[in-house]
Amino acid sequence: MGMNDPVCGMDVEEDPKLRSPYKGKKYYFCSEACKATFDKNPQAYAK
């Protein structure tokens, strides 16, 4: 099952290298750049 990158909205797969946990939920990203953006300000992107 695919999901969306919370930063850019792109469809992504569950890749443990591109994952950040936040408030008990795991978020996945299309790239290190989107993961870094999320990690700087997760509350802006978490749903």
* Residues 20 and 29 sit within 8 Å (Cβ to Cβ): yes
Condensed to tens digits (0 to 9), the pLDDT of residues 10-45 reads 999 999 999 999 999 999 999 999 999 999 999 999
Triad 34, 38, 39: Cα angle to 5°: 115
Instruction: Write down the residue that tokens 């802006």 correspond to.
Output: 44
Contact 28, 6 (CB under 8 A): no
Compute the distance between CA of residue 46 and CA of residue 38 in angstroms, rounded to an integer: 8
- Domain residues of the chain, as ranges? 3-42
Quick one: pLDDT at residue 1?
57
